[in-house]
């Protein structure tokens, strides 16, 4: 009575009663499979055999026991790690050697955490705060002032000049501010002539107005004089 043969596809040795591996519907003995298809470990340069777990990262492969931090040699299996050139490092070693320090709390900004950067300085997202309201600025617009940083609403409340009539913020940072004749109220360069005229001619002392307000009163005076 004949028995069908079950041989290794490559070396033709019988696989009956032996361990074998299937690849694309073809059977191989473990030795042939490792010689033909096993990946080479990046750390020890040995084949990663059938009895070992193959760990891979960006087309490179390691034995499980070889997958370690390049600096402290602690295992990176099932742990967060960072890559620096051809080296794999645990987050602690990477942070110690390469991560930025927060400009506020002076602690390391760990890999994977969000950070804010401005003119060569770095912050934890939760440490980059408006100097006035102490709320995180995040991705919102901000304005530097002296050694602090301000969100736009706080900067306008604390530093910007407003028209005393329309209350709009005057935002012309490239020009120096002007003041009314009596020196008590700030006015913009655009409406300063009309505001000064109204202040001197008829307004109560200490008041200035933006151009539309002053021009409207000027028209009213001219029409009243004709009556």
The average pLDDT across 26-55 equals 86
The average pLDDT across 24-43 equals 86
Residue 216 reports pLDDT greater than 70 = no
pLDDT of residue 76: 93
Banded model confidence at residue 34, pLDDT cuts 50, 70, 90: confident
Alpha carbons 101 and 103: distance in angstroms, whole number:
6
Q: 117: closest CA among 137, 94, 87? A: 137
So what CATH class is 110-157? Answer: mainly beta
pLDDT of residue 163: 66
The 10s digit of each residue's pLDDT in 104-134 is 998 888 777 788 888 888 899 999 999 999 9
pLDDT of residue 180: 37
Banded model confidence at residue 96, pLDDT cuts 50, 70, 90: confident
Phi-psi region of 150 (alpha: psi -120 to 50; beta: other; left: phi over 0): beta
Which residue has better confidence, 77 or 111?
A: 77
The 10s digit of each residue's pLDDT in 61-72 is 999 999 999 999
The 10s digit of each residue's pLDDT in 151-205 is 988 888 888 776 666 666 665 443 333 333 334 444 455 554 444 434 444 444 4
pLDDT of residue 178: 39
The average pLDDT across 132-144 equals 90
Residue 100 reports pLDDT greater than 50 = yes
pLDDT of residue 3: 57
Which residue intervals of the chain bear CATH 2.10.110.10?
Answer: 110-157
Q: Do 160 and 170 form a contact (C-beta atoms < 8 A)?
A: yes
| Count of all residues that appear for the chain in the document | 227
Q: What is the pTM of this model?
A: 0.43
pLDDT of residue 165: 63
| Residue located via tokens 């901000």 | 142
State the chain's mean pLDDT as an integer.
Answer: 75
pLDDT of residue 191: 54
Banded model confidence at residue 147, pLDDT cuts 50, 70, 90: confident
Please calculate the CA angle 8-55-86 and round it to the nearest 5 degrees: 125
């Amino acid at each position: 009575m004949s028995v069908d043969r079950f041989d290794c596809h490559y070396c033709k040795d019988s696989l009956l009663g032996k361990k074998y591996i299937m690849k694309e519907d073809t059977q191989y003995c473990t030795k042939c499979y490792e010689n033909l298809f096993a990946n080479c470990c990046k750390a020890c340069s040995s084949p990663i055999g059938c009895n070992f777990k193959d760990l891979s990262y960006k087309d490179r492969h390691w034995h499980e026991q070889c997958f370690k931090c390049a600096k402290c040699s602690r295992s990176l299996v099932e742990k967060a790690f960072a890559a620096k050139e051809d080296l794999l490092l645990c987050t602690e070693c990477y942070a110690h050697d390469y991560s930025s320090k927060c400009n506020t709390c002076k602690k390391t900004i760990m890999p994977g955490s969000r950070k804010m950067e401005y003119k060569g300085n770095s912050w934890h997202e939760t440490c980059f705060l408006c100097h006035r309201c102490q709320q995180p600025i995040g991705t919102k617009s901000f304005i530097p002032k002296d050694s602090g940083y301000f969100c736009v609403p706080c900067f306008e409340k604390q530093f910007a000049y407003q028209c005393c009539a329309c209350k709009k913020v005057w935002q012309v940072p490239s020009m120096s501010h002007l003041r009314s004749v009596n020196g008590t109220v700030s006015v913009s360069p655009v409406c300063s002539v009309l505001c000064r005229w109204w202040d001197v001619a008829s307004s109560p002392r200490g008041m200035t107005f933006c151009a539309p307000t002053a021009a409207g009163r000027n028209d009213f005076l001219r029409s009243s004089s004709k009556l």
